[in-house]
């Protein structure tokens, strides 16, 4: 009842329509149709919800017997039960009507039968009369308008505007209707009495006769009928309804494309068929081929084709579906379609089936197919060409497997992925050679069809662009919307297209895609002959198939920014401008010795319609004289970027839409962009300008520059004016010569005048504004011609000061302008009006903000979408910030939300349409450019706006308050690595140890797919088997090892292990190896972060073996080493040492890494562990025995493994050990060497650190485990509370405590820093929380409980160090998530201003336990009980115990329930009950006395007295209780 009716749900509409429809169907005559609609037609239709209401209402008069004041409705309603009260009230009112109705004579016509009428506001005749009339004539009168559908008519004389909206869908009728109906004795058409005219032409959904849904125009009234009827027939559409999604297939479209409609994808066809849409002729399209199948065999001959094909099919289906949808989106929005009425409610992608989308494989599929290709290659090629294949083939195998085998998973493979593929394009090239054979073959067919495809498509929505044949792939991606590729028309053949063939068809595209992404790969450039351009459109198309989806795509950003024309233009321009500025700056300006101040000569040089001119350069001159515009794609949807002067004569302007332009000039020629050309021309242009030798050069744009030529002109000694003219002529002719384009030059004594002169100079001319003419010249201009005067300023000036021309402007005082426009602008305009402009040329405008904005394709559905997107956007912003080397302090979020009245579908598909804009900003304490920080803040900003996700149309992030991100400025990234003092020595092994475990673990746990792999590889094979050890092994074992190793090489394709195992002295490999390690060393030294950490989101990098443990050059070719410079050698030596440091994770069983964790996380965790906790670690055994120099390395790799034998075991130290330990260590040592020596070091130097005899572990390890738990607590403690060292530590350290001072000074800085950070994240609430958590962990930590996801048995079998490792990781992961959550919480809290803690509530002592009397607390129950008590015990008088109970109850009420009111009420009730009882007895007695003269009652007053005494007593008790609370006595009976 309070819901606005304006937003009538479809359900309601639907209902109304249905009524109407049936009425039409059943109508027995044209005249009575409307009546049917209102009345009889309605009754059988009442549907679910409203039916009950109506039924109840309608049944009332007939069925309800008039039982005056006997129904439920006449009982009282309880306190707070308003609903019951209202229901009763209504029922009672209806009862009144029933009474009224019962008096009606049978001959009164029941005109209003079946109608439920409500009267609103003042009416004439008055409401009561109408009420009477309605009821008497069989209608139901409703006093309250509750529920939308309960009422059939509303009577009102007039409606308030608000009600007009609310009642828009009701039948609102004038009161005269009632009167007239009664007069006429029959129901009249209400439409003639309507008060609210329904919106004409509103489309609604209705059932047609076949039971299908039909869109139709609401025919609201007779007066409107003619028009909508017409429209209806035109625009009848079939609506398919599958589940929730309603998709409209515009029939007209089918007509256009009818012949070529095909439904390849079963998913699509099913949907279409199911919906009963006219099935378009089904054409199965196949790709030809003998070549292809042979090709396929050559590709697939080593593996089964099926597994590859299956996912591909799915992919195709999926992708096609999506592409279909999205491309239809486009079509629908084209002008030709927009005439058709797209149902307003269809914000879902509209489905259309048409051919062009048929073979459009999107990028995702490429990824997929590519995956397959790669996978196939891996085992086979790796051995053949280990070097070339190196990176490309090894690393992503895991992720690939996942992608390929799981068709259900999202096929979104982002660009980084593709980039990676592209990066390693050389492996591709290997494969491509045979591929091209097929490629060209297909091409043949394609090129044939291509021409007529274009021909046929020409008049349609998508005329293909006339792309220059020489266009390189890099120039094309900007063509949008996708051109019609020949791929959509592959040769048709019988039979279904097997997915495999598609796969093959696509493969070359993949390759080319990779090429696009990796322009540096030489092979790719060469493999593309010119004629293959025919094929290109498909690639382009496919590449573009990405952005047509929405911004939730993982690869959206790269795509968007990679392909966005505007973005390209702006960044390109900006970059170019920057280049030019740098160029200008690097050319020392001609000494400005002779410059007289304030008297300068400025040239403004500008191309004439740059883009148009450059793009049309390739055309013959006579063509160029015709109207030409530059737009993308040349579709009707294109926006004109530039048009030449002939085109301008037709009224075509930049920024106009192609469709409009074609209207203005049908034969206008549209050409595409040619960026390389632009760049080239621009460069030449600037070459010319720089050659002039100007004093200052300011690049305004790629085609526009300001030159300060004051001194050169003065140097000539000639008249400044004519010298400038000459110079301008020179520039023009030179540019013309070099570029073939015209430039215009404006010459003035300042920037403003130069600009204005340029206006006059255009086109293809030059103009010098003479000093004398300046004022006159300016005076004639309009204000808006002045630079910096936009529409708003223009409007302000015109509306408020009446200024139109500059002359007007001049007549106003400066203050007036300043008042209107602000200090600065006013001053500027005032000066401009007088031809004064002191802006210097070449003023380098400092960057004030950096922003990233996307307002295209923003259509989100879920919160996750938005979050992902925001993260991406933040990433983009971060990228840009980093690019120009700044950080910002303030983040501003701009959100465009669909304006309330704007349609959901925008005129331009994916565009933002009309929008409201919201801005919100937040400040960072320190300037930042970190993606995560930005992302978190941006998200919270966005969510704080509380917008409807679906309505988002554009999001922009802007960073302001920028500062240089040089050293010492901004926020220093916390160095998780070792303190700088230890240098790189520590960092490298750490990295090695942290990352090595994962790939191997995965490699082991990966299900074996290859036959070559031995099925039973139970133990992990060390990848670097020491040759000596190997040779000592029994033959069979050695062979097994070698076999495994061999497999490993192929499987993991680790190039670095190859030489060691197969003993091939491949000179190249170590070099690569070395180079890599050096590079990494460099990274480590400089960044302090592992690359994996820097790209946490890139799946490829995550599993990249480039950073695995194998990469360290442990087996280096001595020859190579020799040739190295000394410093490198030293480094390598050091690295060698470190790599020998124990690695914990290596030895773990493969399942060690069961918890899914990215290497980045692992890496970080390890760092955290090392840095944060190792100084605190009690290493009672290790610490004293390790030489100070080596300790960090060892320490960090296994802080917990006290029993690990340090790699450089000091024999002296060993000797000092207790003999039992020593012997154990030695034993260990030996065992290890014999079994599992993985480190390729001389045995003597390679004590086994982490492999422990289970027995030893059992004996010594238990204590460790305990310590481990304790430690865990301690660490927790530190991180939360920054507590000082706990006693735990001291205890464990024992007498060896003396060691710690030596270590701590080195560690302390980083430790302090870390605890600081942690502390910074704390707030009050977290303090509390932390305490709880701490408690939790204390209990948990004492025995090492396995993490939830690890099998207990297995866990127990683990060594303590491994357990610890897992636990540590667990904990760190947990801490990380917690910290993140807390940070989010904090932000949310700040945003909401109203703090909220999830799942944490203040507990109250169980309240609400009401004091009960005899088990009941309810007032009524207690009353009843009291009454009964009085009644039953009346004669015998109140029993003392009962009275005591009641008194105790009342006292309790006062004291415990604090409910004096209830106590008083009870006493009062008791008094009332007594009084009542007494009265009744008295009555009875009187009757008895009267009748029989019997004196049956003995002393009735006595009973009453006794009772009242009891009440007094209870009252006293109550008062006592009140006094106990300090409340005055009740005064009940005064």
Partner 1 sequence: MSKTKEHKDDPQEVMLRKPSEWTHNIILQTFCDFLTVAIHTILFIRDLYPPELFERARKYNTVVRRSRHPMLNDWIRDVVTSVNEELKKCTVNRVSVIILSADETPMERFVFDVSSFPNIPEQEHNIPISSTSATFTQSDLLEQFRATLIRIQQSATTLGKLPEDCTFTVAIELKEHEDKPAQYPDPWIPAQPQQNGVQVNGESVRTRVTTKPLRNIEIGPIKIDAWIEESRAKGKLKEGERA
Q: Does 1333 bind partner 1 (CB under 8 A)?
A: no
Q: Which of 214, 208, 211 is nearest to 246 (CA)?
A: 214
Residue from 44, 80, 598, 1156 in contact with partner 1 (CB under 8 A):
80
Interacting stretch for partner 1, rule CB under 8 A, among 1036-1044, 1321-1329, 1338-1346, 1374-1382? 1321-1329
CB of 1530 to partner 1, least distance (A): 5
Q: Which of 687, 475, 474 is nearest to 579 (CA)?
A: 687
Residues contacting 968, CB < 8 A, separation 6+? none
Rounded distance, CA 584 to CA 763, Å?
Answer: 26
CB of 1328 to partner 1, least distance (A): 7
Q: Which of 96, 95, 144 is nearest to 118 (CA)?
A: 144
Q: Does 1458 bind partner 1 (CB under 8 A)?
A: yes
Interacting stretch for partner 1, rule CB under 8 A, among 227-235, 989-997, 1231-1239, 1398-1406? 1398-1406
CB of 269 to partner 1, least distance (A): 48
Q: Does 1234 bind partner 1 (CB under 8 A)?
A: no
Q: Does 1325 bind partner 1 (CB under 8 A)?
A: yes
- Name residues contacting partner 1, limited to 697-756 (CB under 8 A): none
Whether a cis peptide bond, with omega within 30° of 0, leads into 492 is no
C-beta atoms surrounding 1497 within 10 Å: 16
Q: Does 82 bind partner 1 (CB under 8 A)?
A: yes
Residue from 1007, 1407, 1432, 1436 in contact with partner 1 (CB under 8 A):
1407
Q: Does 950 bind partner 1 (CB under 8 A)?
A: no
CB of 1272 to partner 1, least distance (A): 28
Whole-angstrom CA distances from 1074 to 507, 851, 1045, 1070, 1135 are 35, 41, 22, 6, 11
Contact yes or no for 595/710 (Cβ under 8 A) = yes
Q: Does 593 bind partner 1 (CB under 8 A)?
A: no
CB of 1513 to partner 1, least distance (A): 16
Helix axis angle, 1360-1392 relative to 931-944, nearest 10°? 40
Residue from 790, 1408, 1420, 1491 in contact with partner 1 (CB under 8 A):
1408
Q: Does 92 bind partner 1 (CB under 8 A)?
A: no
Minimum CB distance to partner 1 smaller for 1463 or for 1474: 1463
Q: Does 74 bind partner 1 (CB under 8 A)?
A: no
Minimum CB distance to partner 1 smaller for 1274 or for 1457: 1457
Residue from 948, 1320, 1401, 1492 in contact with partner 1 (CB under 8 A):
1401
Interacting stretch for partner 1, rule CB under 8 A, among 107-115, 151-159, 1143-1151, 1457-1465? 1457-1465
Q: Does 1404 bind partner 1 (CB under 8 A)?
A: yes
Using CB atoms within 10 Å of the CB of residue 1339, give its burial: 0 to 12 exposed, 13 to 18 middle, 19+ buried. Answer: exposed
Q: Does 1331 bind partner 1 (CB under 8 A)?
A: no
Rounded distance, CA 1246 to CA 441, Å?
Answer: 60
Q: Does 76 bind partner 1 (CB under 8 A)?
A: no
CB of 944 to partner 1, least distance (A): 16
Each residue of 796-807: b (16+ CB within 10 Å) or e? Answer: bbeeebebebbb
701 SS3 class: strand
886-898/952-964 β-pairing: antiparallel
Give catalytic residues, as residue numbers. Answer: 704
Interacting stretch for partner 1, rule CB under 8 A, among 363-371, 731-739, 1132-1140, 1525-1533? 1525-1533
Rounded distance, CA 86 to CA 75, Å?
Answer: 12
Q: Does 1531 bind partner 1 (CB under 8 A)?
A: yes
CB of 101 to partner 1, least distance (A): 25
Q: Does 1 bind partner 1 (CB under 8 A)?
A: yes
116-119/153-155 β-pairing: parallel
CB of 169 to partner 1, least distance (A): 18
Contact yes or no for 611/632 (Cβ under 8 A) = no
Pinpoint the alpha helices (H) of 385-424.
386-394, 397-405, 415-423
Give the interface size with partner 1 as a residue count (CB under 8 A).
43
How far out from the chain centre does Cα 950 lie?
Answer: 12
Rounded distance, CA 1497 to CA 1500, Å?
Answer: 6
Q: Does 594 bind partner 1 (CB under 8 A)?
A: no
Interacting stretch for partner 1, rule CB under 8 A, among 540-548, 1360-1368, 1369-1377, 1462-1470? 1462-1470
Give me the DSSP letters along 653-690: -TT-BHHHHHHH-TT-EEE---HHHHHHHHHHHHHHHH
β-sheet bridge partners, residue 699:
705
Tell whether residue 484 is among the known ligand binding residues: no
Q: Does 1529 bind partner 1 (CB under 8 A)?
A: yes
Minimum CB distance to partner 1 smaller for 591 or for 1395: 1395
Q: Does 1462 bind partner 1 (CB under 8 A)?
A: yes
CB of 801 to partner 1, least distance (A): 42
Rounded distance, CA 1163 to CA 1181, Å?
Answer: 26
Minimum CB distance to partner 1 smaller for 94 or for 906: 94
Which string of x and - marks every residue 124-153 that binds partner 1 (by CB under 8 A)? --------------------xxx-------
Tell whether residue 606 is among the known ligand binding residues: yes
Whole-angstrom CA distances from 1314 to 782, 1173, 1271 are 63, 10, 17
Rounded distance, CA 1531 to CA 1534, Å?
Answer: 6
Residue from 2, 31, 495, 1244 in contact with partner 1 (CB under 8 A):
2
Q: Does 79 bind partner 1 (CB under 8 A)?
A: yes
Rounded distance, CA 1020 to CA 1040, Å?
Answer: 12
Residues contacting 92, CB < 8 A, separation 6+? 73, 74
Positive or negative torsion for Cα 56, 58, 63, 69:
positive
Rounded distance, CA 1487 to CA 1083, Å?
Answer: 112
Minimum CB distance to partner 1 smaller for 4 or for 792: 4
* Residue 1022 phi, psi (nearest 5): -65, 135
Q: Does 184 bind partner 1 (CB under 8 A)?
A: no
CB of 1421 to partner 1, least distance (A): 17
Q: Does 1406 bind partner 1 (CB under 8 A)?
A: yes
Rounded distance, CA 154 to CA 170, Å?
Answer: 7
Q: Does 1400 bind partner 1 (CB under 8 A)?
A: yes
Interacting stretch for partner 1, rule CB under 8 A, among 344-352, 830-838, 979-987, 1405-1413? 1405-1413
- DSSP at 1239: S
Minimum CB distance to partner 1 smaller for 110 or for 1323: 1323
Residues contacting 936, CB < 8 A, separation 6+? 1383, 1384, 1387
Q: Which of 394, 470, 464, 382 is nearest to 431 (CA)?
A: 382
Which string of x and - marks every residue 1493-1522 that binds partner 1 (by CB under 8 A)? --------------------------xx-x
CB of 1329 to partner 1, least distance (A): 11
How far out from the chain centre does Cα 474 lie?
Answer: 29
Residue from 31, 408, 586, 1324 in contact with partner 1 (CB under 8 A):
1324
602-607/743-748 β-pairing: antiparallel
CB of 1395 to partner 1, least distance (A): 4
Whole-angstrom CA distances from 215 to 240, 340, 813, 1046 are 11, 12, 62, 68
Minimum CB distance to partner 1 smaller for 1350 or for 1463: 1463
* Numbered residues of the known binding site: 606, 703-704
By CB under 8 A, name the binding residues for partner 1: 1-2, 79-80, 82, 144-146, 1324-1325, 1328, 1394-1397, 1400-1404, 1406-1408, 1457-1464, 1519-1520, 1522-1531
* Numbered residues of the known binding site for Mg(2+): 606, 703-704
């Amino acid at each position: 009842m309070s819901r606005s009716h304006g937003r009538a749900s479809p359900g309601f509409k639907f209902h109304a329509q249905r009524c109407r429809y049936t009425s039409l169907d059943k109508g027995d005559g044209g005249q009575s149709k409307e009546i049917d609609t209102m009345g009889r037609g309605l009754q059988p239709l009442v549907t679910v919800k409203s039916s009950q209401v109506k039924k109840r209402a309608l049944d009332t008069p007939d069925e309800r017997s008039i039982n005056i004041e006997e129904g439920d409705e006449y009982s009282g309603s309880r306190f707070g039960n308003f609903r019951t009260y209202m229901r009763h009230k209504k029922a009672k009112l209806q009862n009144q009507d029933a009474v009224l109705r019962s008096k009606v004579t049978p001959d009164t016509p029941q005109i209003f039968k079946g109608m439920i009428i409500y009267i609103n506001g003042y009416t004439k005749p008055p409401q009561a009369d109408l009420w009477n009339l309605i009821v008497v004539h069989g209608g139901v009168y409703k006093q309250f308008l509750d529920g939308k559908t309960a009422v059939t008519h509303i009577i009102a004389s007039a409606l308030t505007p608000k009600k007009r909206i609310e009642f828009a869908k009701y039948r609102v009728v004038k009161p005269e209707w009632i009167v007239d109906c009664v007069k006429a004795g029959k129901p009249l058409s209400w439409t003639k009495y309507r008060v609210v005219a329904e919106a004409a032409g509103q489309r609604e959904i209705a059932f047609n006769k076949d039971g299908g849904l039909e869109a139709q125009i609401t025919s609201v009234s007779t007066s409107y009928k003619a028009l909508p009827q017409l429209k209806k027939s035109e625009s009848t559409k079939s609506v398919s309804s599958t589940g929730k999604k309603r998709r409209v297939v515009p029939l007209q479209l089918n007509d256009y494309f009818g012949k070529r409609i095909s439904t390849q994808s079963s998913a699509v066809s099913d949907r279409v068929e199911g919906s009963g849409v006219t099935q378009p002729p089904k054409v199965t399209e196949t790709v030809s081929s003998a070549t292809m199948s042979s090709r396929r065999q050559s590709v697939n001959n080593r593996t089964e084709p099926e597994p590859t094909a299956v996912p591909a099919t799915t992919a195709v289906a999926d992708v096609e579906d999506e592409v279909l949808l999205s491309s239809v989106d486009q079509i629908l929005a084209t002008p030709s379609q927009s005439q058709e009425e797209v149902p307003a409610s269809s914000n879902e992608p509209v489905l259309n089936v048409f051919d062009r989308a048929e073979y459009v494989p999107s990028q995702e599929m490429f990824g997929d197919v590519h995956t397959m290709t790669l996978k196939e290659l891996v085992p086979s090629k790796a051995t053949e060409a280990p070097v070339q294949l190196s990176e490309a083939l090894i690393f992503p195998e895991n992720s690939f497997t996942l992608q390929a085998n799981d068709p259900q998973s999202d096929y979104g493979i982002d660009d980084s992925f593709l980039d990676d593929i592209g990066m390693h394009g050389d492996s591709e090239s290997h494969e491509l050679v045979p591929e091209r054979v097929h490629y060209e073959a297909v091409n043949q067919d394609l090129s044939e069809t291509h021409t007529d495809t274009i021909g046929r498509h020409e008049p349609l929505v998508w005329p293909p662009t006339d792309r220059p044949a020489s266009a390189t792939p890099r120039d094309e991606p900007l063509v949008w919307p996708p051109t019609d590729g020949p791929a959509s028309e592959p040769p048709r053949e019988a039979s279904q297209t097997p997915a495999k063939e598609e796969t093959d068809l696509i493969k070359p595209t993949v390759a080319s895609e990779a090429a696009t992404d990796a322009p540096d790969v030489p092979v790719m450039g060469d493999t593309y002959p010119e004629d293959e351009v025919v094929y290109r459109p498909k690639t382009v198309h496919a590449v573009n198939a990405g952005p047509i989806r929405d911004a939730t795509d993982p690869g959206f950003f790269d795509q968007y920014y990679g392909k966005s024309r505007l973005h390209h233009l702006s960044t390109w321009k900006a970059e170019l401008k920057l280049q030019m500025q740098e160029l200008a700056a690097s050319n020392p300006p001609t000494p400005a010795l002779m410059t007289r101040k304030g008297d300068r000569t400025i040239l403004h040089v500008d191309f004439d319609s740059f883009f148009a001119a450059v793009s049309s350069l390739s055309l013959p001159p006579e063509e160029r004289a015709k109207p030409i515009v530059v737009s993308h794609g040349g579709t009707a949807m294109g926006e004109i970027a530039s048009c030449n002067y002939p085109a301008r004569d037709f009224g075509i302007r930049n920024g106009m839409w192609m469709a409009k332009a074609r209207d203005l000039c049908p034969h206008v020629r549209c050409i595409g962009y040619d960026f390389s050309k632009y760049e080239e021309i621009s460069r030449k242009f600037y070459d010319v300008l720089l050659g002039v030798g100007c004093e200052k050069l300011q690049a305004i744009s790629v085609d526009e520059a300001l030159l300060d030529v004051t001194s050169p002109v003065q140097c000539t000694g000639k008249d400044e004016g004519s010298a400038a003219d000459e110079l301008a002529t020179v520039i023009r002719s030179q540019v013309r010569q070099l570029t073939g384009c015209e430039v215009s030059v404006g010459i003035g004594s300042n920037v403003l005048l130069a600009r204005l002169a340029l206006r006059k100079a255009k086109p293809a001319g030059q103009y010098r504004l003479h000093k004398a003419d300046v004022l006159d010249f300016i005076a004639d201009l309009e204000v808006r011609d002045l630079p910096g005067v936009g529409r708003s300023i223009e409007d302000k000036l015109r509306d408020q000061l009446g200024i139109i021309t500059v002359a007007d402007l001049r007549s106003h005082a400066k203050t007036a302008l300043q008042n209107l426009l602000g200090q600065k602008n006013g001053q500027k305009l005032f000066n401009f009006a007088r031809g004064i402009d002191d802006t210097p040329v070449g003023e380098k405008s400092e960057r004030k903000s950096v922003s990233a904005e996307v307002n295209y394709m923003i259509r989100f559905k879920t919160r996750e979408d938005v979050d992902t997107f925001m993260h991406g956007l933040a990433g983009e912003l971060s990228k840009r910030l980093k690019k120009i080397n700044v950080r910002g302090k303030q983040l501003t979020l701009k959100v465009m939300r669909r304006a309330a009245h704007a349609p959901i579908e925008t005129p331009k598909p994916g565009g933002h349409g009309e929008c409201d804009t919201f801005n919100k900003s937040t400040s960072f304490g320190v300037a930042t450019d970190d993606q995560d920080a930005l992302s978190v803040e941006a998200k919270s900003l966005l969510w704080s706006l509380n917008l409807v996700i679906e309505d988002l149309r554009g999001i922009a992030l802007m960073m302001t308050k920028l500062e240089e991100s040089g050293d010492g400025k901004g926020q220093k990234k916390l160095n998780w690595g070792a303190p700088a003092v230890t240098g790189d020595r520590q960092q490298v092994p750490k990295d090695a140890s942290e990352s090595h475990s994962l790939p191997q673990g995965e490699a082991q746990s990966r299900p074996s797919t290859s036959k070559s792999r031995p099925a039973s590889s139970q133990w992990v094979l060390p990848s670097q088997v020491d040759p000596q050890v190997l040779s000592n092994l029994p033959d069979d074992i050695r062979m097994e090892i070698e076999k495994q190793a061999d497999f490993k090489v192929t499987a993991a394709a680790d190039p670095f292990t190859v030489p060691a195992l197969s003993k091939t002295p491949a000179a190249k490999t170590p070099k690569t190896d070395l180079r890599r390690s050096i590079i990494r060393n460099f990274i480590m030294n400089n960044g302090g972060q592992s690359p994996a950490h820097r790209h946490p989101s890139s799946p490829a990098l995550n599993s990249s073996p480039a950073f695995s443990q194998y990469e360290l050059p442990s087996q280096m070719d001595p020859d190579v080493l020799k040739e190295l410079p000394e410093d490198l050698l030293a480094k390598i030596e050091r690295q060698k040492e470190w790599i020998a440091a124990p690695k914990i994770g290596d030895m773990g069983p493969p399942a060690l890494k069961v918890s899914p964790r990215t290497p980045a996380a692992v890496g970080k965790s390890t760092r955290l562990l090392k840095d944060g906790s190792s100084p605190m670690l009690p290493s009672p055994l290790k610490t004293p025995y390790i030489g100070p120099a080596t300790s960090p390395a060892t320490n960090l790799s296994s802080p917990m493994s006290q029993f690990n034998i340090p790699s450089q075991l000091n024999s002296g130290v060993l000797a000092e050990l207790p003999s039992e330990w020593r012997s154990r260590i030695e034993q260990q040592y030996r065992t290890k060497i014999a079994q599992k020596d993985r480190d390729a070091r001389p045995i003597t130097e390679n004590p086994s650190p982490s492999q422990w005899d289970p027995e030893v572990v059992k004996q010594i390890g238990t204590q460790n485990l305990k310590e481990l738990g304790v430690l865990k607590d301690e660490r927790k403690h530190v991180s939360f509370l920054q507590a000082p060292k706990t006693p735990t530590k001291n205890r464990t350290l024992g007498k060896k405590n003396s060691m710690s001072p030596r270590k701590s000074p080195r560690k302390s800085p980083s430790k302090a820093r870390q605890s600081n950070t942690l502390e910074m994240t704390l707030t009050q609430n977290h303090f509390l929380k932390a305490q709880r958590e701490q408690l939790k962990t204390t209990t948990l930590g004492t025995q090492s409980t396995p993490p939830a996801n690890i099998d207990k048995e297995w866990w127990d079998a683990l060594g303590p160090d491994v357990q610890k490792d897992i636990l540590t990781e667990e904990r760190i992961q947990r801490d990380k998530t917690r910290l993140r959550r807390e940070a989010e919480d904090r932000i949310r809290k700040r945003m909401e201003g109203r703090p909220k803690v999830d799942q944490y509530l203040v507990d109250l002592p169980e309240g609400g336990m009401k004091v009960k009397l005899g088990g009941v607390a309810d007032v009524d129950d207690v009353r009843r009980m009291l009454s009964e008590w009085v009644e039953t015990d009346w004669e015998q008088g109140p029993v003392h115990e009962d009275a005591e109970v009641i008194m105790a109850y009342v006292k309790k009420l006062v004291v415990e329930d604090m409910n004096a009111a209830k106590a008083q009420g009870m006493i009062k009730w008791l008094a009332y009950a007594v009084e009542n009882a007494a009265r009744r007895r008295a009555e009875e007695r009187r009757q008895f006395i009267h009748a029989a003269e019997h004196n049956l009652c003995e002393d009735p007053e006595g009973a009453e007295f006794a009772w009242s005494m009891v009440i007094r007593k209870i009252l006293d008790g109550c008062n006592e209780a009140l006094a106990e609370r300090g409340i005055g006595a009740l005064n009940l009976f005064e």
